[in-house]
Amino acid sequence: MLMDQRDNSMKKELILLAGLHKTGTTSIQRACKQNKEILERYAYSYPLIKVQTVSGLNQNKTPENHSRLINQMFSDHRLQVGSTNHADRIPNTIKEDARKIFLQQLESQPSTILLVAERISTLKAHELIDLRDWFEQQGFHITLLCCIRKPLSWVSSMIGQRVCGLTGPRLRIEDVIQEFLKADSLVVDRIKNIINAFPSAEFYSFEDAASHKFGPPGYFLERLGLDLDQINVAERLNEGRSGHSVRINSIVNDVFGHRLASEKTVAFHAQLPTKYPALFTIPGEKFTLQEGEVAPLHETLARENEWLKEKFGKGYYDDEVSVGSDQSLLDDAAREFLKKHFVAAGPRIKKIIEEYLATH
């Protein structure tokens, strides 16, 4: 238990859960917020830090996810005001202001500070070192935790999020695959950067966390030493879209434009969840890459799985690269769902659904 590792020295304690993305962090963040008072009884503080939203340092936004906070404090770049397109990145000029606000809000926090920010895992190597050095200069002793998901299920989940995202650039499946090919890495470069900055970082497998009776939140809070009988960890979030939802959304992104290239496109994608909520809840098995889609990533997957196997062992790598067939057929429930929910859709959405029904 992490509680057993804390000492009585003058250093302040900071626990960072650094991700990775798609390892249950949203559920963990929600559970930490819901159980904030119980965490405090165990001498953990889960702060809701005020961060920038659209301009300046907005004092009204206090998200349970600390990723925006970490980005503003340590990333070299941030998004332009009002944009959700990651291509619209500008120099981060608010680092010092964000750090001051962090310190001001935690002045009277004597307990161990707990930050859950998957964004930590995507910081560049020098940004991670800056994060480490700055917190240490403030007198913090840092314990960094990181959850690792097997590469194939991780990349499938990431693609599903980038295609069906409610915020950020909505891409086609092939666009996301190309981004990973360009990066020439999936999870390993992120892990190496963390190890470089935090040699004593503690890693655990998503398989272990997901198999806990209360899922990733239960696994994490139990690791902190909490009695799970006292807390609420029942809620699970971001369980993943079905293959049909991801594939139809990918077609929608192609037809209506992707990467949020114009105000009109931004407006269209922003209203999708309320105008066509059924796009995100089509029945079927969870999305996984098909053989033709995963083929370009085979070399990267093989290299990363070999490294993970050597570094961490069982539970951290794919025993085999098992993918779906190149044609995911609609079952009766999904077919009836599409016919029912899109009978009155606009002409272009209706055409996409009709063509999908005809080919699947």
68 touches 51 (CB < 8 A): yes
Q: Are residues 222 and 267 in the same domain?
A: no
Token digits for 307? Answer: 């490294």
Predicted confidence (pLDDT) per residue in 116-155, tens digit:
999 999 999 999 999 999 999 999 999 999 999 999 999 9
Q: Encode 326-350: b = buried (16+ Cβ within 10 Å), e = exposed.
A: eebebeeebbebbeebbeebeeebe
d(CA 269, CA 166): 8
Q: How many domains does the chain have?
A: 2
Per-residue pLDDT, 4? 47
Cα(first)–Cα(last) distance of the chain, in Å?
50
For residues 136 and 8, state if they share a domain.
yes
Do 225 and 247 belong to one domain? no
pLDDT at residue 352 is higher than 70: yes
265 part of a folded domain: yes
- How many CB atoms sit inside 10 A of residue 230's CB? 11
Same structural domain, 226 and 311: no
pLDDT for position 324: 62
**Which range of residues forms the domain containing residue 305?**
243-285+288-359
Claim to verify: residue 202 and residue 255 sit in the same structural domain: no
Phi and psi torsions of 289, nearest 5°: -65, 145
Coarse DSSP helix, strand, coil percentages of the chain, rounded to the nearest 5 percent: 50, 10, 40
In a domain, 165, yes or no: no
Assess whether 86 and 216 both reside in one domain: yes
Same domain, 219 and 74: yes
Rg (CA), the chain: 21
Do 24 and 48 reside in the same domain of the chain?
yes
pTM: 0.88
- pLDDT value of residue 121: 97
Do 248 and 132 lie in one domain? The reply is no
Do residues 140 and 110 both lie within one domain? yes
Confidence bin at 199 (pLDDT 50/70/90):
very high
CA angle, 51 as apex, 236 and 87 as ends, to 5°? 85
pLDDT at 54: 44
